[in-house]
Chains A and B, each alone.
Chain A
Amino acid sequence: MAISMNWVKEYVDLNDVDLKELATKITNAGVNVEHISSNDLNNLVVGYVISCEDIPDTHLHDCLVDVGTDKRKIVCGANNVRKGIKVIVSLPGAVLPGGVVIKASTIRGYESNGMICALSELGLEENTPENHAKGIYELPDDAKIGEDVVKYMSLDDTIYELDLNPNRNIDCTNHIGFAYEVASVLGRKVTLPDLSTSPIKDSVKKHFSLSIDTPNCTMYNAKMVTGVEIKESPDFIKHRLIAAGMRPINNVVDISNYVMLEFGQPLHFFDKDKLGDKIKVRMAKENEKIVTLDKKERTLTSDDIVITDGEKPVCIAGVMGGENTEVDENTKDILIESAIFNSYNVRYTSLRLDLRSEASLRYERGLNYEYTTMAIERACHLLEKYANGKVLSDTIVVDNIEKKKKVAKVTLDEVNKTLGLEMTLKDVEKSLNNLGFPYKEKNQEFTVEIPNRRLDVEPHRQDLIEEIGRLYGYDKIKSVLPTIPDRAGKYVGAVKYRKLISNRLKSLGLNECRTYTLVSDEENEMFKYNRKEQIDLLRPMSSDKKTIRQTLIPSLLKVYDYNKSRNVKDVMIYEIANTYGNKTEEDTKVAILMKGNYLTNSWSSTNTKVDFYLLKGILENLLDYLGLKNRYHLQEAKLDGMHPGISAEITLDKEPIGFLGRVHPNISKDDIYVLEISMNKLVEKKIKPIKFKEISKYPSIVKDLAFIVKKDVTSEKLVETIKHTGGRLLTNIDVFDVYMGENVKDDEKSIAYSLTFSDPERTLSDEEVMKIFDKIIEEVSKKHNAVLRDK
């Protein structure tokens, strides 16, 4: 929001005020003045275009311009430049916003001694394609050739660009509202503008009838002005509109905008002759049509509020007028509307029709009914003065506003306790006086009335405390730690478990990743495993972020690709993140991706390459660490996206919790190993407390043996039999060799085990061990069709 301080000066005395310091004060009180600009434009003069010739084969024009001191050649590219108009000329030496220095030059062989300017080039209008298309700015005929344009247009203004919080974009988006804020900060009074008119006898009531047929219009004021003369606005209106970022059009349109920027109340002007003698406000019918001012046909819904002439819509309330009742150059009599519509409806309609405007935004944020009434009077005053209009007496009013005074109480103690300050009664009184909030004080308790212009302040002590505090100054607040009992903080719930897993994985050499929750359909289609119903966004921004992921592996694969393409060859990564399905069900997943060398030495051969068994080792280490030893199991499984021969499903207490293995070569030719398990299923498990276990003091006996079995006999099965047969004294089984090849048949393999026997209470004899050992050989041979391999 751009505020013209020249304009504000009309309501608050600022003659002795440094506007830069004021901006700091206002910012410190909570209304951010983001940028201050004053027009330090120089070398700008009023020029008169004496002649204007097209330069062949270009869009350029060769102009002769009278700039007062001399007549000079200037090349201009705007399509609205022509003979006989007055224009803004920046002379050589002028510095335009953005640092452009104007120099005398030659363009396409034509001499050019300056530049004819558009408002956007001077920083007086936003540099948009629309504004650019408007071309150069045409000055009124009465502009004096050679005069300083800054002076002529009263551009020596200071503009505050405000960055408003949502609570203050109700009152600080108009100049009177902002003037009150300035007055609060300075402790001064606000003078409201002249609203007086000299109405003629004729009453508007004779010309119009008004009916409101919807609860969504709580106030409607209508006044009539006849015999208006459409012409240019007076300079002060034009300049102020330009300063606030609006382009002057004609006096009638400008006055409507001027009053909006003054009071914050949008107005609508109807051509009375086109409108007829009736106004009826109602909800639109489904599929009802109206052609709006921009000449587009709009189809309405029953959520849109419309102004009708009794039959057909003539205006979409709060959004845009209809072409059928538009004020044009032939308009004589005007009906002015100043109304309050339901903000939700205006918001909904303007969003749906993509017609958000300065006006609709103000309806959305809410309006002060006192200004609704004042604004229509102000518009009549200005139309009478600057458009020679005759104001008809009376106002047609429908007023269903509930006018309750906003009153709240606050004590001095409450103020100080909340802010942590030591304000005195006088300090609080000063703040309230400055704010212009009427109050009574009794026994250090303030009963405060909140003016209607501050729609954002609710009648509650906390609101008053904030208003009092921000004016007094938060810089006076000192740091005081709360006097509350000490307690030990901790990680609560699943987060504790996540940290535990995360730290273990880091200690196992894996790097933590953070990737996006939203993914494409294609990504979510990968690695389908125990899937729930997918959750899609209702209005996704793009197809690559349209659904909530149920697996983290595709995200980790992306991280792998990203790093691979940057020559990072060894990628050991993991992520722990929430996944969602079935509308709201949460499942925290732990995913790991490993590829390359786990241990690397670039020049010797001490590399440990990642394979299934390394990843299996990571998994076992993690689960053992979580106290789940001997409770989990891997089983062969055909899984979506995984190598059918090199992957497994993981079960915990016989319940599936996830999978691991090599990524299917169809997805990646690289030998990438991945794992994904559900953390939720780990968290649920109860585990035993840690207890010291005596290590046997007696020597153990180690025996080795190897079996030849069919390839599809898993080691797990052999171990099961060995364990079962070995009994209590068999304390450890290691695989020390797996062999396939020469001396072993094609469909067979040899597995060698190293068995450890021990007893915590005594030394075992060789004989008793041999007995068990022989029994093991016998059982394994029998059960698995195994042959003991010769040593």
Chain B
Amino acid sequence: MKEKVESIKKELEKDLENVNSLQEVQNLKVKYLGKKGLVTELTSNMKDLSIEERKEVGKLSNDTKNYVTEELTKLETKLNEEELEKKLNSEKIDISLPSTKVAVGSSNILEKLIEEVEELAISMGYDVVEGPEVEKDLYNFELLNLPKGHPARDAQDTFYTDGDTWLLRSQTSPVQIRTMLNNTEKTPIRIICPGKTYRRDDDDATHSHQFTQIEGLLVDKDISLANLKATFDVIAKKLFGEDRETRFRPSFYPFTEPSVEMDISCFNCGGKGCNICKGTGWITVGGAGIVHHNVLDNCGYDSEKWTGFAFGFGAERLAMLKYGITDIRTFYTNDLRVKETFDRKDAD
């Protein structure tokens, strides 16, 4: 009996070596485990044996059956895997072919920059407020301490739409006026107002009859230029890098007194002097100052009690500096190829 089993095992070993397909495995299953299979035959003369012998033969044949089944299953699995792999290999694609362009939108460059400033301002407690572009002369000039005939109006040659009372706003400052006037309870104010503005300029690489300002206004008690400088620092560092230094230079705006120009240390040369900063090491990015007492009083904020600061940036100028854009018209042509560069997160 034992010899029989051994010879079956030996034969199986030989057979297994020659198997190459699942069909052949199937054939072996029949040869060994089928009704007339070699293993099945081990128990063919069971009825002639004693109980003791039956037990022994039964166990032996059972073990053999398990052994053979296991070996055949192993091989079957292996062949199955090989077959699948072959099939998958045949499905191989060229991953280097171009992708499908999914529908994804993008922000306008300028809007992207404005939102960066807005988010920062919101985090500092500023509300983002907008106002009309067709505006009253009263709000665009007069209440801002720019009476009719004021020489500073020259610098802002304006588009009028109706007599000398309505115009396309030449600055976003009227939003400040509206906010102060509308705040009938005369509580502290913190706003930024981004928006479109218009002046009589011929369009070229550095001039645009339509441009965008971002203005801020803070009205509270005991507000100083030092407070303004700290606020400017935050914005300058956010937009142009943590290592930016800032400085103020005296300037003039009719609606602030004192007025300052806001400069940042040149982000290109770090202050040594280069083309971008015209050798000075500094770049002017905006104007600001302490709100003029006439403006506060004009808007019902008693200038003996209230103080505030206001600041303003040209959004196009900021974006041109930040991204190295040399033609202001870039913002208005909307060349979609620009998206390839701009539709991503910026470096931290």
Do A and B pair up? The answer is yes
> Which of A's residues lie within 8 Å of B, judged by CB?
27-30, 165-169, 343-344, 347, 364-365, 417-421, 460, 462-463, 465-466, 469-470, 474-475, 477-482, 484, 486-495, 502, 505-518, 535-541, 545, 548, 559, 562-563, 566, 568, 570-574, 577-578, 580, 583-584, 586, 598-604, 606
Which chain A positions have C-beta within 8 A of B249? 27-28, 30, 474
CB < 8 Å A-B pair total? 254
Q: Is the CB of B105 within 8 A of A490?
A: no
Q: Is the CB of B127 within 8 A of A490?
A: yes
Given known contacts A481-B231, A489-B123, A491-B128, A512 and B105 CB-to-CB distance under 8 angstroms: yes
27 residue pairs bridging A and B, Cβ less than 8 Å apart: A419-B226, A460-B293, A462-B258, A465-B257, A470-B258, A474-B247, A475-B248, A479-B226, A481-B230, A482-B230, A484-B190, A489-B125, A491-B122, A493-B129, A505-B105, A508-B105, A511-B108, A511-B339, A512-B107, A514-B108, A517-B133, A518-B159, A559-B333, A563-B335, A568-B335, A570-B101, A586-B132
CB < 8 Å neighbour of B166 from A487, A566, A568, A584: A584
| Interface flags, B117-159, vs A, CB<8A=1, else 0 | 0100111111111101110000000000000010110110001
CB < 8 Å neighbour of A168 from B124, B231, B252: B252
Q: Is the CB of B259 within 8 A of A466?
A: yes
Q: In the docked arrangement, what's the CA distance between A463 and B168, Å?
A: 31
How big is the B interface, by class?
35 or more
Given known contacts A484-B220, A489-B123, A583-B166, A364 and B332 CB-to-CB distance under 8 angstroms: no
CB < 8 Å neighbour of B104 from A420, A509, A536: A509
Q: Is the CB of A495 within 8 A of B128?
A: yes
Nearest 8 interchain pairs by C-beta: A420-B226, A509-B103, A30-B250, A420-B224, A506-B105, A165-B252, A466-B258, A489-B122
Given known contacts A466-B259, A480-B224, A489 and B134 CB-to-CB distance under 8 angstroms: no
Q: In the docked arrangement, what's the CA distance between A535 and B167, Å?
A: 10
Name the CB-closest residue of B to A31. B250
Which chain B positions have C-beta within 8 A of A514? 108, 110-111, 331-332, 334
Which chain B positions have C-beta within 8 A of A602? 98
Q: In the docked arrangement, what's the CA distance between A577 and B334, Å?
A: 15
Q: Is the CB of B129 within 8 A of A492?
A: yes
Which chain A positions have C-beta within 8 A of B251? 30, 165
Name the CB-closest residue of A to B100. A601
Given known contacts A474-B247, A505-B105, A603 and B337 CB-to-CB distance under 8 angstroms: no
Q: In the docked arrangement, what's the CA distance between A280 and B231, Å?
A: 58
Q: Is the CB of A601 within 8 A of B226?
A: no
Q: In the docked arrangement, what's the CA distance between A486 and B130, Å?
A: 22
Q: In the docked arrangement, what's the CA distance between A601 and B100, Å?
A: 4
Which chain A positions have C-beta within 8 A of B163? 538
| Interface flags, B250-264, vs A, CB<8A=1, else 0 | 111010011110000
Q: Which of B24-32, B47-55, B195-203 contacts A (4 or more CB under 8 A)?
A: B195-203
Q: In the docked arrangement, what's the CA distance between A30 and B260, Å?
A: 9
Q: Does B88 contact A (CB under 8 A)?
A: no
Given known contacts A486-B125, A506-B107, A548-B134, A568 and B292 CB-to-CB distance under 8 angstroms: no
Q: In the docked arrangement, what's the CA distance between A30 and B287, Å?
A: 13
Which chain B positions have C-beta within 8 A of A489? 121-128, 190
Q: Does B310 contact A (CB under 8 A)?
A: no
Q: Is the CB of A166 within 8 A of B210?
A: no
B89 to chain A, nearest CB (A): 22
| Interface flags, B84-99, vs A, CB<8A=1, else 0 | 0000000000000111
| Interface flags, B36-50, vs A, CB<8A=1, else 0 | 000000000000000
CB < 8 Å neighbour of A487 from B190, B224, B250: B190
Which chain B positions have C-beta within 8 A of A491? 118, 122, 127-128
Q: In the docked arrangement, what's the CA distance between A502 and B118, Å?
A: 15
Q: Does B227 contact A (CB under 8 A)?
A: yes
Q: Is the CB of A518 within 8 A of B209?
A: yes
Which chain B positions have C-beta within 8 A of A27? 249
Which chain B positions have C-beta within 8 A of A493? 129-130
Q: Is the CB of A517 within 8 A of B168?
A: yes
Q: Is the CB of B97 within 8 A of A510?
A: no
8 further A-B contacts with Cβ under 8 Å, apart from A479-B229, A511-B106, A574-B105, are: A486-B125, A489-B126, A491-B128, A502-B111, A562-B334, A562-B335, A577-B196, A578-B133
Q: Does B336 contact A (CB under 8 A)?
A: yes
A343, A475, A481 interface centre (most CB from chain B within 10 Å): A481
Name the CB-closest residue of B to A30. B250
Q: Is the CB of B101 within 8 A of A601?
A: yes
Q: Is the CB of B125 within 8 A of A487?
A: yes
Q: In the docked arrangement, what's the CA distance between A421 and B229, Å?
A: 12
Q: Does B299 contact A (CB under 8 A)?
A: no
Which chain A positions have C-beta within 8 A of B254? 166
Which chain B positions have C-beta within 8 A of A466? 250, 257-259
B263 to chain A, nearest CB (A): 10
Q: Does B102 contact A (CB under 8 A)?
A: yes
Which chain B positions have C-beta within 8 A of A421? 225-226
Q: Does B161 contact A (CB under 8 A)?
A: yes
Which chain B positions have C-beta within 8 A of A465? 257-258
Q: Is the CB of B134 within 8 A of A584?
A: yes
Q: In the docked arrangement, what's the CA distance between A319 and B121, Å?
A: 49
Q: Does B160 contact A (CB under 8 A)?
A: yes
Q: In the docked arrangement, what's the CA distance between A470 and B122, Å?
A: 32
Q: In the docked arrangement, what's the CA distance between A511 and B209, Å?
A: 24
Name the CB-closest residue of B to A504. B105
Q: Is the CB of B160 within 8 A of A537?
A: yes
B273 to chain A, nearest CB (A): 14
Name the CB-closest residue of B to A167. B252
Q: Is the CB of B127 within 8 A of A418?
A: no
Which chain A positions have C-beta within 8 A of B123? 489
Q: Does B188 contact A (CB under 8 A)?
A: yes
A613 to chain B, nearest CB (A): 15
B155, B188, B290 interface centre (most CB from chain A within 10 Å): B290
Name the CB-closest residue of B to A540. B159
Given known contacts A506-B107, A606-B100, A166 and B152 CB-to-CB distance under 8 angstroms: yes
Which chain A positions have C-beta within 8 A of B168? 517-518, 537, 548
Which chain A positions have C-beta within 8 A of B108? 511-514
Q: Is the CB of B130 within 8 A of A494?
A: yes
A410 to chain B, nearest CB (A): 12
Q: In the docked arrangement, what's the CA distance between A140 and B227, Å?
A: 61
Name the CB-closest residue of B to A495. B130
Name the CB-closest residue of A to B123. A489
A331 to chain B, nearest CB (A): 35
Q: Does B218 contact A (CB under 8 A)?
A: yes
Query: Which residues B163-180 have CB closer than 8 A to chain A?
Result: 163, 166, 168
Q: Is the CB of B105 within 8 A of A568?
A: no
Q: Does B223 contact A (CB under 8 A)?
A: yes
Which chain A positions have C-beta within 8 A of B225? 418-421, 469, 474, 477
Which chain B positions have C-beta within 8 A of A474? 225, 247-250, 260
Q: Does B307 contact A (CB under 8 A)?
A: yes
Which chain B positions have C-beta within 8 A of A577? 196
CB < 8 Å neighbour of A490 from B100, B122, B132: B122
Q: Does B222 contact A (CB under 8 A)?
A: yes
Q: Is the CB of A484 within 8 A of B188?
A: yes
| Interface flags, B178-193, vs A, CB<8A=1, else 0 | 0000000000101000
Which chain B positions have C-beta within 8 A of A512? 105-108, 111
Name the CB-closest residue of A to B308. A482
Q: Is the CB of B151 within 8 A of A365?
A: yes
Name the CB-closest residue of A to B251. A165
